[in-house]
Amino acid sequence: MSYDPAVALEFFKSAGQATEIARSSVIFAEKDEEHPLLLQRSKIYLVLDGEVSLLAGRKLIGTVRKGEIFGEMAAITHAPRSATAAAKTDCRLIALDDEALERGLEKKPAFALMLMSIMIARLRETIARLGAAGALAQGTEWQESAAFGREQIADLVRGLADDPPVFYLQGRQIMSAGQAALRMYVVVEGRVAVSIGGRVVERLGPGGVFGEAALVDQSTRLATAVAETDCELLPVTRQAFLALVQLSPEFAHSMLASLAARLRFLTERIR
């Protein structure tokens, strides 16, 4: 699902109110943390009018314009801000905290696909920039992540009985970068290594997910995945994936969190 500013506007207006931000004002600062007990929660923003600059340190890393969204990574993952957002011009914004976002997704779960499409477009751009700079061959992998607990995996297996688990022996390639995508995978048992440009960037155990990006934007695979141990995987077709997003806000939020963590990791590598 491609990004549609009109759909984003409808979603944000249904869950929040517009506010005025003066030129040069800092909307949030790099490394800001949320404090829910003090009623300070990270927010995701939609630009109604004006432009917002995104900066890492003093380096400009992006500009957000009318109809576009920013700030989603911290709001979804509850991690500190990875950049500073400042009003480049006088602006009108709508801000939603994580609770308002989740309530909105319960009413309009398909909006999650739009957020995913934004993150995946940024992932592809970031990977291209890192590859051009040779930065993918340096540094360490991001932390192992698990989007789903074992009970959730069991529920997925039951809900997708027509797509039974598949098994891969240690060392076998599961998918490769550049391939057309038919399925994403949830790790049921074992461990999978995900690599970009020949560099392992993530290791996934039970509950981890991979291959979802190409299902959202219907493009080619971003990464290569190999079974580090004998593995049992649950394949999820695009049709089933779209149905799960529509029917389960929890599934949609888990997928958003997984994508946001990957994007955050790679974005920090650019600096």
pLDDT band of 49, cuts 50, 70, 90: very high
**Are 66 and 150 in a shared domain?**
no
Task: Give backbone dihedrals phi and psi of 89, rounded to 5 degrees, phi first.
Answer: -135, 175
Residue 141 has pLDDT above 80, yes or no: no
pLDDT (tens digit per residue) in 31-44: 888 765 555 788 99
> Does 15 share its domain with 147?
no
The letter for the amino acid at 267 is T
Q: Tell whether 137 and 64 lie within a shared domain.
A: no
What are the beta bridge partners of residue 256? none
* 75 vs 87, more confident: 87
> Going by DSSP bridges, is the β-strand pair 52-56/59-64 parallel, antiparallel, or unpaired?
antiparallel
pTM for this model (two decimals): 0.74
Q: What is the mean pLDDT of the chain?
A: 83
Which range of residues forms the domain containing residue 181?
A: 115-269
Whether 240 and 130 share a structural domain: yes
Cα dist from 34 to 28, 178, 229, whole Å? 11, 38, 38
Q: What is the CATH number of the domain that holds 54?
A: 2.60.120.10
pLDDT at site 146: 62
Structural domains of the chain, count:
2
Which of 75, 108, 141 is the last residue before a domain boundary? 108
The length of the chain is: 271
- On whether both 101 and 121 belong to a single domain, the answer is no
153 and 31 share one domain: no
Rg of the chain, C-alpha, whole Å: 19
Quote the longest CA-to-CA distance of the chain. Answer: 58
Express each pLDDT in 52-78 by its tens digit.
999 988 889 889 999 999 988 888 878
Q: Do 139 and 253 belong to one domain?
A: yes
Domain co-membership, 164 together with 201 = yes
CA distances (Å), origin 56, targets 53, 88, 97, 271: 10, 15, 22, 8
Q: Residue 179: name the closest of 136, 214, 128 by CA.
A: 214
Clarify whether residues 229 and 254 are in a common domain: yes
pLDDT of residue 21: 96
> What is the per-residue pLDDT across 173-222, written as a single tens digit (0 to 9) for each?
999 999 988 888 989 999 999 988 888 888 899 888 898 888 887 888 98
Last residue of a domain, one of 108, 142, 168: 108
Q: Same domain, yes or no, for 33 and 75?
A: yes
Q: Examine the domain organization and report whether 61 and 127 are in the same domain.
A: no
Q: How far is Cα 207 from Cα 257, in angstroms, rounded to an integer? A: 13
pLDDT tens per residue, range 213-233: 888 878 889 889 999 999 999
Q: Return the percentage of the chain with pLDDT > 90, whole number.
A: 27
Confidence of residue 103 (pLDDT cuts 50, 70, 90): confident
Cα separations in angstroms, 220 against 200, 212, 242, 243, 262: 19, 11, 18, 21, 17
Domain boundary pick from 89, 108, 127? 108
